[in-house]
């Protein structure tokens, strides 16, 4: 009896500067480029713009479909930084890559000022880990610049997110809270077709919640009818299952989570180890195709 995998509907998502993302034919790989001094998952700092540019170009060569550039750590317990400090980290990298990368650049920020400046420097997508819960002006900034907007589910700030990790029905509550983020974005002028959703595995969720989300992704995707991004890469919910290994050593566990996301119909996966995860995604896609 053939295995039947969750359907993955097709979407055309407009992005800033006249481009589009065509989602659905296969799962796209988003490479993570953290230009912070305190990334939880990367052993080496990429604060030097030249190193960050070289890393982004390597990701593209390794098969990344998008690059997500972040200047503020969102790991549990991370300190918040000002928009000026964040911009001092990301703008040199964005400007150096603009015109050199052939793939879209995303800015990982929840701040409207950063989003506007990043768009002017070449970013075409905004990845908001707060789901519009920290800066209510962010949606208006995306409406003005034409950037696509990724809305991630989270509760609370980085230093207190686990205090709010209480759920009776994790998929039902995550779906309802993402639906409210979508409503806020549309009310601020962002067209629905520019929105992508991310259930936020590892954010304000205990390991059981994150595994529950991964296991029930098709329900969430069907309920929201928007493209789905999943970002399990090296996160702490994997730690116990891989023998307590530190974040940089969790790529095998990440590979399993990425495979589950692809088979469940994810449109984009966000990862650190691009070359390795491109292989994982391609094999998982073959399994889907033959299923």
Question: Do residues 42 and 70 touch, judged by C-beta distance below 8 A?
Answer: no
270 is catalytic: yes
3-state helix, strand, coil in the chain (%, to 5): 45, 15, 40
C-alpha–C-alpha distance, residues 180 and 164, integer Å: 17
Find the catalytic residue in 133, 235, 250, 288.
Answer: 235
Residue partners of 1: CB distance under 8 A and separation at least 6: none
Per-residue CA distances from 167 to 164, 170, 199, 208, 219 (Å): 9, 5, 14, 11, 17
C-alpha–C-alpha distance, residues 122 and 100, integer Å: 11
The dihedrals phi and psi of 113, each to the nearest 5 degrees, come to -65, -40
β-pairing, 229-230 vs 268-271, is parallel
235 is catalytic: yes
Question: Do residues 125 and 147 touch, judged by C-beta distance below 8 A?
Answer: yes
The packing angle between helices 170-187 and 217-224, to 10°, is: 30
- CA torsion sign, 132 to 173 to 214 to 251? positive
C-alpha–C-alpha distance, residues 15 and 31, integer Å: 17
Question: Do residues 185 and 221 touch, judged by C-beta distance below 8 A?
Answer: no
Residue partners of 147: CB distance under 8 A and separation at least 6: 15, 16, 115, 119, 123, 124, 125, 126, 141, 194
C-alpha–C-alpha distance, residues 75 and 40, integer Å: 6
Find the catalytic residue in 89, 194, 270, 288.
Answer: 270
Catalytic residue ranges: 235, 270
């Amino acid at each position: 009896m053939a295995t039947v995998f969750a359907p993955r509907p097709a979407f055309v998502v407009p992005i800033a500067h006249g481009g589009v993302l065509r989602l659905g034919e296969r799962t796209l790989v988003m490479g993570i480029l953290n230009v912070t001094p305190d990334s939880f998952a990367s052993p080496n700092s990429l604060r030097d713009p030249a190193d960050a540019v070289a890393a982004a170009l390597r990701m593209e060569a390794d098969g990344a479909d998008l690059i997500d550039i972040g200047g503020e750590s969102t790991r549990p317990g991370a300190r918040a930084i000002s928009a000026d400090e964040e911009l001092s980290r990301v703008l040199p990298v964005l400007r150096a890559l603009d015109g050199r990368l052939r793939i879209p650049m995303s800015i990982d920020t929840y701040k409207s000022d950063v989003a506007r400046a990043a768009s002017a420097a070449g970013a075409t997508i905004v990845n908001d880990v707060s789901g519009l819960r920290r800066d209510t002006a962010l949606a208006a900034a995306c409406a003005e610049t034409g950037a696509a907007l990724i809305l991630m589910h989270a509760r609370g700030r980085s230093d207190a997110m686990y205090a709010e990790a209480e759920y009776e029905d994790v998929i039902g509550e995550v779906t309802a809270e993402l639906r409210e983020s979508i409503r806020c974005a549309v009310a601020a002028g962002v067209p629905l077709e520019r929105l992508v959703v991310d259930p936020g595995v590892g954010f304000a969720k205990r390991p059981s919640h994150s595994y529950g989300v991964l296991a029930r992704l098709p329900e969430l995707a069907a309920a929201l009818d928007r493209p789905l991004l999943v970002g399990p890469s090296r996160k702490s919910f994997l730690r116990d299952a891989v023998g307590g290994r530190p974040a940089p050593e969790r790529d095998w566990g990440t590979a399993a989570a990425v495979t589950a996301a692809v088979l469940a119909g994810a449109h984009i996966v966000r990862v650190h180890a691009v070359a390795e995860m491109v292989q994982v995604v391609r094999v998982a896609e073959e399994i889907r195709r033959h299923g």
